Amino acid sequence: MERTGFLEYVLNYVKKGVELGGFPEDFYKILSRPRRVLIVNIPVRLDGGGFEVFEGYRVQHCDVLGPYKGGVRFHPEVTLADDVALAILMTLKNSLAGLPYGGAKGAVRVDPKKLSQRELEELSRGYARAIAPLIGDVVDIPAPDVGTNAQIMAWMVDEYSKIKGYNVPGVFTSKPPELWGNPVREYATGFGVAVATREMAKKLWGGIEGKTVAIQGMGNVGRWTAYWLEKMGAKVIAVSDINGVAYRKEGLNVELIQKNKGLTGPALVELFTTKDNAEFVKNPDAIFKLDVDIFVPAAIENVIRGDNAGLVKARLVVEGANGPTTPEAERILYERGVVVVPDILANAGGVIMSYLEWVENLQWYIWDEEETRKRLENIMVNNVERVYKRWQREKGWTMRDAAIVTALERIYNAMKIRGWI
């Protein structure tokens, strides 16, 4: 397997965590390799005739804390090495959040926007069939990530249930509310990012009210982060997607997102320019340089790098995406006094809500939306507090160091008590 920059960066962070935490070198040796990797090829009959075969993966990184858990990404450039990096992050994230889960991640190299609805369904069902022997509601529980959503989870849970011959609701999470899902999961990651941002804003400035925000990416995470941050009193002045940035100094009308939540892709950002008098800048990278208090990267990995970290004007960066900041960028931001709330803390709301949905499913029980959101919020607030306190205690650490070492402690203790190390 060829190691990409992303995997190198994640390993670099883990190695540093192992060193800072004073763990034995063998611990890093174990964590640097996934326990199991499945490579699958999924044939799809194309509407225009003929077949395309898509390569996919399911990487199971570590199950010392419980069943494997992590999303599935549909993206044209995803590699096996990226998937390993994402699975490692899931092991850390699930540990930090106190969940009874190990870490996994799945991926298919495909541009889902180029498939028809029927082709997408065939691919999703084909992927679920291909990984079925290695997943299960107490074995490995996938969920959405970039390029996948609740509808895709519905097809996958249906396909898996057909194979078993009975309904298995808990094998995938983030399903539609009509099919064993909880309505909170659709917005859980963005809501969690907003809660983490609010809690950190209280510590830095005494509150979030009136703080200006720029958000990169208007997918599931980005648009719900915008929505909840505005509700909490922040002023979202810029959002971006792959095509460019929508900017409005007085604050964007984020309610538009809620009203048009079926929309994806460029339409969402264009919405602000057509219905909200926002400026549209055709360069998506313009988002880094904006004079805002808070920047939320919520698109993909490796976007804040050595070459642009110096341009970031925000005082607080909250990682909605997985792995958006390279180690070189992290060092530059740290030296400039920019606080970076790391991915494994900031975007854990998605998997925490997945856990709550899974608990409901295993008991065939249904919780109400408000009650579930409150549980999610409490877990996020406590996690931010725990990591923040640890970070304050350790001089010279970044907040990521504090989060990773805290996550590693739980993993190490479980390995130790099980006699794995």
Ligand X SMILES: NC(=O)C1=CN([C@@H]2O[C@H](COP(=O)(O)OP(=O)(O)OC[C@H]3O[C@@H](n4cnc5c(N)ncnc54)[C@H](OP(=O)(O)O)[C@@H]3O)[C@@H](O)[C@H]2O)C=CC1
Ligand Y SMILES: O=C(O)CCC(=O)C(=O)O
Site of tokens 């060193």: 19
Distance between CA atoms of residues 136 and 171, nearest Å: 5
Window of 130-138, 176-184, 212-220, 344-352 that interacts with ligand Y by CB under 6 A:
344-352
Q: Which residues of 151-166 are buried (b: 16+ CB within 10 A; e: fewer)?
A: bbbbbbbbbbbeeeee
Chain positions 224 to 263 lying near ligand X, rule: CB under 6 A, are 240-243
The entry of ligand Y, ligand X, none near residue 265 (CB within 5 to 8 angstroms by kind) is ligand X
Structure tokens at 341: 């709330």
Distance between CA atoms of residues 306 and 86, nearest Å: 21
Nearest Cα to Cα of residue 34 among 65, 4, 9, 68: 68
Instruction: Kindly report the number of other CB atoms within 10 A of residue 329's CB atom.
Output: 24
Distance between CA atoms of residues 44 and 59, nearest Å: 22
Catalytic residues: 105
Window of 27-35, 120-128, 350-358, 391-399 that interacts with ligand Y by CB under 6 A:
350-358
Exactly one of 266, 279, 311, 394 binds ligand X (CB under 6 A); that residue is 266
Smaller CB separation from ligand Y, 69 or 211: 69
Closest separation in Å from C-beta 239 to ligand Y: 21
Q: What is the DSSP pairing of strand 102-109 with strand 68-75?
A: parallel
Element (H, E) at 205: helix 185-205
Asked if 197 touches ligand X (CB under 6 A), the answer is no
Smaller CB separation from ligand X, 146 or 379: 146
Window of 69-77, 273-281, 332-340, 370-378 that interacts with ligand Y by CB under 6 A:
69-77
Distance between CA atoms of residues 180 and 186, nearest Å: 13
The entry of ligand X, ligand Y, none near residue 106 (CB within 5 to 8 angstroms by kind) is none
Window of 234-242, 259-267, 343-351, 406-414 that interacts with ligand Y by CB under 6 A:
343-351
Nearest Cα to Cα of residue 146 among 83, 195, 91, 191: 83
Smaller CB separation from ligand Y, 221 or 399: 221
The entry of ligand Y, ligand X, none near residue 354 (CB within 5 to 8 angstroms by kind) is ligand Y
Exactly one of 90, 120, 238, 321 binds ligand X (CB under 6 A); that residue is 321
Closest separation in Å from C-beta 222 to ligand X: 6
Asked if 322 touches ligand Y (CB under 6 A), the answer is yes
* 136 secondary structure, DSSP code: B
Q: What is the DSSP pairing of strand 212-216 with strand 102-109?
A: unpaired
Smaller CB separation from ligand X, 253 or 264: 264
Q: Is 357 exposed, middle or buried (0-12, 13-18, 19+ CB in 10 A)?
A: buried
Closest separation in Å from C-beta 238 to ligand X: 11
Asked if 417 touches ligand X (CB under 6 A), the answer is no
Is residue 91 part of an annotated ligand binding site?
no
Smaller CB separation from ligand Y, 69 or 125: 69
Structure tokens at 149: 């959503």
Asked if 216 touches ligand X (CB under 6 A), the answer is yes
Site of tokens 């004079």: 291
Contacts of 223 (CB under 8 A, 6+ apart): 190, 239, 257, 261, 268
Is residue 354 part of an annotated ligand binding site?
yes
**8 A C-beta contact, residue 144 and residue 176:** no
Give me the half-sphere count of Cα atoms (radius 13 Å) on the Cβ side of residue 245: 20
Convert residues 127-146 into a mask of x (bound to ligand Y by CB under 6 A) and - (unbound).
Answer: ----------------x-x-
* Residue numbers at the binding site for ligand X (CB under 6 A): 144-147, 189, 216-222, 240-243, 264-266, 284, 298-300, 320-322, 347, 350
| Binding site per annotation, positions for NAD(+) | 189, 216, 220-221, 241-242, 322
| Binding site per annotation, positions | 69, 93, 189, 216, 220-221, 241-242, 322, 354
| Binding site per annotation, positions for substrate | 69, 93, 354
* Residue numbers at the binding site for ligand Y (CB under 6 A): 69-71, 93, 143, 145, 173-174, 322, 347, 350-351, 354
